[in-house]
Amino acid sequence: MNLAAATNESLANISNVLIYSSMAVYTLAFFAHIAEWVFGSRSKVGRTAAALTGAQAGAEGAGAGAAAPVRVAHAQQGGGTAVLDRPKIVTRAAAGSRDVPDGPGAAGGTFKGDLYGRVAISLTLVAFLVQAGGVVARALSVQRAPWGNMYEFSITFSTVAVGTYLVLLALGKNVRWMGLLLVTTVLLDLGVATTLLYTASDQLVPALDSYWLWIHVSTAILCGAVFYIGAVATLLYLFRDSYEAKLAAGGKPGAFARSVLSRLPAAGSLDKFSYRINAAVFPLWTFTIIAGAIWAGDAWGRYWGWDPKEVWSFITWVAYASYLHARATAGWKGRKAAYLALLAFGCWLFNYYGVNIFVNGKHSYAGV
């Protein structure tokens, strides 16, 4: 074995160690997120903050716009006093909409819950950096873009998804409620990647050995990560909407709804967030398909051949286009639009897992 081969093998081993290490840190973050939700729901301060939020919403129900955060809750911890911010009150003037405030978040407005939440975010950041190091090491071990097979695509996809989440947090967006679901699914993704999809480092098949790999596949990964963030918000919207509808009808939600769903953003906020994030990334998905067609022309001498991957990429595009068109022109909002958005993301998932594993075509590079 020459020096270059030995170096590449060492880098591949380092990549594996970093990926497994990131899974360990993500597991710690998972338990920290659990603690955030648990202590946030059990605290008297959390219940008081939620009650004050509801009272403020009732007082301002006739107004429009959003009230600024008000510092309302004081929690004793270790002899000190922490002043907590109450979430913004969100009201909506659209006909038929509910004037419902955003929930206080996973921490429930408590000192201890917020502390565990900050620990969870810190651990998630550390895990992201370790995982990103594993992806870079994998790239260096083969001296190419680290997404030539499903294993590499999977570890890169979850890295980008977590990075997107952290960027939204850094921009001050109210997305910390997503942390537990995100970390859970990232652990599942890495578990599947390391046990079922793992492929040893190797060079690309000739058709993939192109600079278009950096352009086409990188944008596909980014689109998938952002679509995933939108799908999580859409799914939680459906639960929160049912919770709000039950309250509006005079019903009494169950323990799960009272302890978890009451702390999520309002259904209208989740619906608006998922729509905006899907709309923002849709043009990039359009570019991804165009870039793939150009690459196909260079590699196979035709821009479109109705290969299964091409077909399902187009189906995914049509599904998201239908969702955005319905929201913009047909006035589809709420649950009907949410179902369509989840269907579109389901198409994306099948395009990745189903087509790569179960369908033979020119894009069969799963490596499993």
Q: Would you state the pLDDT for residue 45?
A: 43
* Mean per-residue pLDDT, 188-196: 93
pLDDT in tens, 159-182: 999 999 999 999 998 899 999 999
pLDDT in tens, 106-150: 888 888 889 999 999 999 999 999 999 999 999 998 888 888 788
Say which residue the tokens 């990647």 belong to.
193
Say which residue the tokens 């599904």 belong to.
319
| Long-range Cβ pairs for the range 95-101 (8 Å, 24+) | 97/268, 98/244, 98/248, 98/266, 98/267, 98/268, 99/57, 99/61, 100/57, 100/244, 100/266, 100/267, 100/268, 101/53, 101/54, 101/56, 101/57, 101/266
Q: Taking 70 as the threshold, does the pLDDT of residue 63 lie above it?
A: no
CB 73 within 8 A of CB 86: yes
Q: What is the pTM of this model?
A: 0.81
The phi and psi torsions of 84 (rounded to 5 degrees) equal -110, 145
| Distance, CA of 162 to CA of 312 (rounded, Å) | 25
Q: Would you state the pLDDT for residue 70?
A: 39
